[in-house]
Amino acid sequence: MLLRLGQVPTVVASSAAAAEEALKTRDLSFSGRPRLLMADRLYYGTRDMVFAPYGERWRQLRRVCVAHLLSPRRVLGFRAAREREVAALLDGVRAAAADGAAAVLNLSDLLIAYSNAVISRATFGDARGHGLDGGGAAKLRKVFGEFEELLGTVPMAEMVPWLWPVDVLTGLDRKARRTAEEIDRLIERVVADKSPAAAFEAGEEIDGVRLDTVTIKATILDMLVAGTDTTYTLLEWAMAELVNHPTQMRKLQDEVRTAAGGIVTEDDLPRLPTRVVINAWAIGRDPATWERAEEFVPERFAATDGDGEAAEYHKMGVDFRFLPFGAGRRGCPGVGFAVPSVELALASLLYHFDWEVPGGDRKPSAVDMSEVNGLSVRLKTALLLVAKPWQPR
Ligand code: HEM
């Protein structure tokens, strides 16, 4: 489908076949990134890697990130960090649960703190994520929320350049400036007191790429944004869907509680038969590909299901029916990092607690599934739940 959005002709690929053509057959032609005004404002004039035009500089920056953070060997090396942060997440839930049977906890805040801590530990070698903004997880969620929302906003000037005053009048310009400054202060602090484990050193040449301070800040921002928001959003959707589907929840808890003993470790993950997190994304809603496309049916990702072959969501470029990580040259390099972070956290939350919406109302519509658009589509309101601790008998 061709849309003409102001001055920008835009092709929309909405079937698996069209996605395969763009991301595989014609991958090279579509390996650029559009020059987006908002990304320019928020990413230091797009000096980062995610929004970099396809070419040598992008290739080298991507290589640096993969070598220092995202390779299978590195990801394995972060296992202890993931397990420590899951323990902290569970402690957070326990502390709230200890306040009494009806204590309502803000799971969204705990999940964003978890996701940010995992990526911060990997990037800086410590858990600075929690204190990154000096104001705790709620503040972090707010800053990231605004950042993401702005990234997902198309300014009027992007489509119709002479209408730029509209962006001033609506306050969008001022909001973008304020958020960019706030994020820069955050990154400045991280770079200023970086720990010895920091992967990036100003002025240093790594793998043939000379990293100036702005490139370092922009690339760190890439990692924090790409690694925090995606992981947290996925976990939040998964928990919201499961709480709204008690039968699925019970089935998954039985699986996790059978596979693990006392505590969930990464060794238990391959024994879990169902990849639950995936359907929470529900991007692939094409009724030509999926039966009951609009429904939460995690079984479709198990070995065999009504849709024929299982969707291999993390094998990028193999299965185009479902593309949570994109595909092709610009596909997500963080997939190997994200999968254990998400699976360990979700399995642990399901193992140790039974979950309810406040008020004990477990009707399917109990969690409000309204969405808000941004770089990723998030739940509009924070996920408020009651957690009841569970002990193995
Ligand atoms: C559940 C977690 C995640 C999901 C669903 C996800 C999804 C995606 C998607 C859809 C893209 C765009 C692909 C395209 O343009 O074709 C992308 C790109 C990217 N992701 Fe992820 N991602 C996740 C986690 C991560 C993590 C943990 C990191 C790093 C710490 C990361 C780093 C990146 C980077 C750097 C790019 C840009 C690659 C490029 O432009 O060359 N992602 N991701």
In the chain, the amino acid numbered 171 is G
Q: Which of 84-98, 230-244, 328-342 has the lowest mean pLDDT?
A: 328-342
Span 112-141, pLDDT tens digits:
889 888 888 887 665 444 444 444 556 666
* Residue 331 alpha carbon to ligand 1 centre in Å: 7
* Residue 230 alpha carbon to ligand 1 centre in Å: 8
12 vs 86: CA distance, rounded Å? 39
Ligand 1, atom 3, residue with closest C-alpha? 230
Residue 379 phi/psi, 5° resolution?
-65, 140
Q: What is the pLDDT of residue 175?
A: 93
Question: Token digits for 193?
Answer: 């007191």
Whether the per-residue pLDDT at 267 is higher than 60: the answer is: yes
Ligand 1, atom 18, residue with closest C-alpha? 332
Whether the per-residue pLDDT at 238 is higher than 60: the answer is: yes
Which ligand 1 atom minimizes the distance to the CA of 62? 41
* Residue 324 alpha carbon to ligand 1 centre in Å: 9
pTM for this prediction: 0.78
271 vs 264: CA distance, rounded Å? 11
Report for 18-27, 317-326, 344-353: range of highest mean pLDDT: 344-353
Whether the per-residue pLDDT at 91 is higher than 90: the answer is: yes
332 assigned to a ligand binding site: yes
206 vs 219: CA distance, rounded Å? 13
337 lines ligand 1 (CB under 6 A): yes
133 vs 219: CA distance, rounded Å? 18
CB 240 within 8 A of CB 379: yes
Residue 361 — very low, low, confident or very high, per pLDDT cuts 50/70/90? Answer: low
Most informative mutation of 59, 231, 316, 332 for ligand 1 (most atoms within 8 A of CB): 332
* Residue 167 alpha carbon to ligand 1 centre in Å: 29
324 lines ligand 1 (CB under 6 A): yes
* Residue 97 alpha carbon to ligand 1 centre in Å: 34
Which ligand 1 atom minimizes the distance to the CA of 342? 1
Higher pLDDT, 300 or 199: 300
Give the rounded distance of the alpha carbon of 363 from its chain centre. 28
Residue 308 phi/psi, 5° resolution?
90, -125
324 vs 327: CA distance, rounded Å? 9
What average pLDDT score do residues 206-233 get? Answer: 80
